[in-house]
Structure 1
Amino acid sequence: MPQFPHLRRVAAAASITGLALSLAACTSGSGSGSSADGTVTIGFVNGGDTEFHTCLQKSVEATATGSKVKLYTANSHQNPGTELSNIEDMISRNVDALIVQTVNVDALKGDIAKARAAKIPIFLTSVVTDDPTEILGAVVVDLTKVGQLDADWVAEDAAGKAAEVGIIAGAPGAASDLLTSGFSKQLPSNARVVANQPGMFNAAKAQDVAENMIQAHPDLAYAFVANEEMAFGARKAFAAAGKNVKIVTVNGTEQGLAAVKDGRFSATVANSAMTTGRLAIDNSLNLLRKGGADKIAKTPITLITKENLAEAPRYCP
C-alpha cells in the first residue's frame, strides 16, 4: 500500500472515473474568507460513492444551506486523477476554502500542494496531517480505535476460548489498514486471525471473499468487516454455507443497526457521517473567521450492540 508519512488516517471507498461538479447551495454570509458581499464560498470534493460518502455530502449540503454558504460540490469516484482535476476546478472558481474527502493519501499530497499554491485554505474530512500548519483544519474518525472496539467485543464474547477470526478489509489504503490493524492488534492471544482479504468496500466482492474464507476455514467463529455494506454480503455467504459466524463491523447506518437488532451483526461501531459533515462546514467557517473551533475535531464513536441500540447517533441526514 502506498504511504504518505505526514498522514495518519483516511477513509476512502468504491467505484471509478468521472467528474461531477455542481452548485449545491447559494445564500449570503459574512466573515473572514468571504467575498465583498459577505458570501462565503466553499468547494467540497467528495471521494467516492459508498453510503458514507453519500451521507457525508448530504450533511455538508444541508449544513451549508443553514449556514449561509455558497457551496460547489464534486465527486472523484475513487479516481486520484479526477480528484486533482476537481481541486483545480474548485481553485479556478476562486473558492474561499476547500473541504476534501480524499481518495487516498497520494492524491491528498497533491491536493494540499495545489491548494497552498493558490492560497486557498483546505479542510480535511477523515484525515489529519502531522503538520497542522498545512491545513485549515480537519474532522476525523479514530479508525484505529474503531477496530479496537470491535476487537474488544470479540475478546469478551470469546471469553478466553480459542477462536478463529477472519478479516474482510476494504480497499488497500490507510483507512482500511488502520481499521484492520487496530482490530488485529487488539485481539487477545486466544483469538487467531486465519484470513485477511480485501472486499474493496463492495458487497458483492465481500460476499465472494467470505465464501472463500468459510470454505478454507470451516471453523471460523468471528469476522471483522470494514464496513456494513460489505458485512451484508459476508452475512449472505456465511448463511448460505450454514455457518453462524459472528460479524463485527463499522458505520452505524439504519440498516446496520437493524442487523444488530435482529442478530445478523453482533456489533457495529457507530461513527455518524452526518456529524462529520456538519462539523466540516461549521468548523471551516469558524476557523476562517478566527472563531472558536477545534482545529482537529473528532467524530464520536460508539460500540453498538443489542444492549445499547438507543445510544447510536443518526448516521445520515
Structure 2
Amino acid sequence: MSSTTRSRRVLAVSLAGVAALLLSGCSEGADGGSGDGATSLGFVNGANTHFHTCLLKAVEQTAEVKGAKLYSANSKQDAGTELSNIEDMIARNVSALIVQTVNVDALEGDITKAKNAGIPIYLTSVATDDLSDILGAAVVDLKKVGAMDAGWIEKDAAGKQVQVGVVAGAPGAASDLLVGGFKAALPATAKVVANQPGMFNPAKAQDVAENMIQAHPDLDYAFVANEEMAFAVRKAFDAAGAEDVKIVSVNGTEEGIAAVQAGTLSATVANSAMTIGQTAVEKALALLADKNGDKISNVPLTLVTKDNVAQAPQYCPK
C-alpha cells in the first residue's frame, strides 16, 4: 500500500449505513434544492435507501434555509457512477461538494479529482487521515455503533454461551466498520456462527436469514446492518418458528423505533440522517467562510431499547 493510500485510509464511516428512488443525474430546483445565493453546493448521495432519502431531504431543506443553491446526484452504490457524478459537479463549478460515498476505496479518486479542480469536499459519515485533503466531515463512528449493539447482547446474555448471526450490508463500505466494531465488542461467550451480506436489500436479507436459521436453528441473536433488512430478517425468523431470536440493528428510523417499542427488534442504534444532513450543509458553508473552524463534527449516537424510546432523535425531516 502506498503512503498516499495510507494517508487517505478511512477512519470512520456511516451507515451505514440506508428507499425512494433518486435520479442518478444532477438536478436542481424541486429535485435538487433551491435558492439563488452566490454559494452553490453539490451533493453526491450514495444510494436510494431510506437513510439516503432522509439525508437528501435534510441537505435540501438546510441549503434552502441558508440560501445556497444545491445540485444533487445519486450514485446508486456504484463507485464509477460516483466519480462521474463528482465530475459533473466539478463542471458546474460548485463552491463545495458534499459526498456520501458508496465505498471507502472510492474516496481516493474522488478527493484527488475534486482537489485538482480546486473544489473542496465535505464528507458525510467519513473522515480521512489527512484532513488537509478535505473541507470537513460529519462523522458517524460506525465501529462504536456496532459495539453498542454488541454491548446490549452482552448485557442481555448475562454470561451465557450464545450463538450470534450477522446480516451485513454491502461489503467494502459502512457495513465493514459496523460489523467489525460489533464482532470486536462481543463477549467471549458469544460466538458468531454466520456472517453474510444482505446488500442493504430486504429481499436479499430475507433469503440470507432463511438460510441462516436453517443452518443454525439454535441461534440466539442476530445483528443486522440496517432496519429495513432487519424487518425482513424478523419475517424470515418468525416464519421458521424462531420468534425467540433477538435482533439488534442500526439507524433509528421512525419504523425502527416503533419496532423496538413493539418488541419486534430488541435494540437499535440511532444515528439521525436529519442531523447528518443539517450538519453537513451548515458546517460546509461555515468552513467556506472560515477554514480555521473545526473540521470534524461527530454525530450523536443513542442505543434505543424499550426503556428509552422517548429519547430517540428525529431521524428524517418532515
TM range (shorter): over 0.9
Q: Within 2, Cα distance between the matches of 1:167 and 1:254?
A: 23
CA distance in 1, matches of 2:241, 2:288: 55
The alpha carbon displacement at 1:4 in A equals 8.6
Counterpart contact for 2:11–2:126, Cα < 8 Å: yes
The aligned residue for residue 36 of structure 1 is: none
Unaligned runs of 5+ in 1: 30-38
**Match of 1:110?**
109
Match for residue 9 of structure 2? 6
How far residue 8 of structure 1 moved from its aligned partner, in angstroms, is: 1.7
- CA apart distance, 1:189: 1.0
CA contact (8 A) 1:7 1:129 kept: yes
- In the alignment, which residue of structure 1 is the partner of 2:35? 27
Q: Any conservation in 2 of the 1:3–1:106 contact (CA below 8 Å)?
A: no
Distance of 2:198 and 2:6 partners within structure 1: 20
Q: CA deviation at 1:25?
A: 2.8
CA contact (8 A) 1:17 1:79 kept: no
Shift of 1:261: 0.6
2:171 is matched with: 172
Q: Is the 8 A contact 2:251 2:269 kept in 1?
A: yes
Q: Secondary structure at the match of 1:196?
A: strand
Return 285-294 or 256-265, whichever deviates more.
285-294
1:173 shift after superposition: 1.1
1:57 maps to a residue whose letter is L
Give the whole-Å Cα distance in 1 for the aligned partners of 2:250 and 2:167.
12
Report the secondary structure of 1:78's partner residue: coil
How far did residue 174 of structure 1 move? 3.3
Q: Percent identity?
A: 64
Aligned counterparts of 1:171 and 1:14: Cα–Cα separation in 2: 16
Q: Contact (CA 8 Å) 1:14, 1:200: kept in 2 or not?
A: no
Q: Distance in 1 between matches of 2:51 and 2:100?
A: 11
**1:245 alignment partner in structure 2:** 245
Structure 2 residue aligned with 1:233 = 232
Distance 1:84 1:247, change over 3 A: same
Aligned residues: 307
Residues of 2 paired with 1:213 and 1:276: CA distance? Answer: 33
Give per-residue Cα distances to partners, 1:79-114, cap 9 Å, x unaligned: 111111111111111111000011112222111011
CA deviations over 1:129-149 (Å, ceiling 9, x no partner): 000000000001000000000
**Alpha-carbon separation, structure 1, partners of 2:316 and 2:137:** 20
Query: Which structure 2 residue ranges, 5 or more long, are not aligned?
Result: none
User: Which residue of 2 is the match for residue 119 of structure 1?
Assistant: 118
Aligned to 1:57: 56
**Distance across 1 between alignment mates of 2:250 and 2:301:** 10
Kept in 1, the 8 Å contact 2:55–2:277? The answer is yes
Q: Alignment RMSD, CA only?
A: 2.0
1:264: which partner in 2? 264
TM-score between both structures, scaled by the size of structure 2: 0.92
C-alpha change, 1:78 and 1:130, in structure 2 (3 Å) is same
8 A Cα contact 2:22 2:48, kept in partner? no
Alignment CA distance shift 1:58-1:294 (3 Å): same
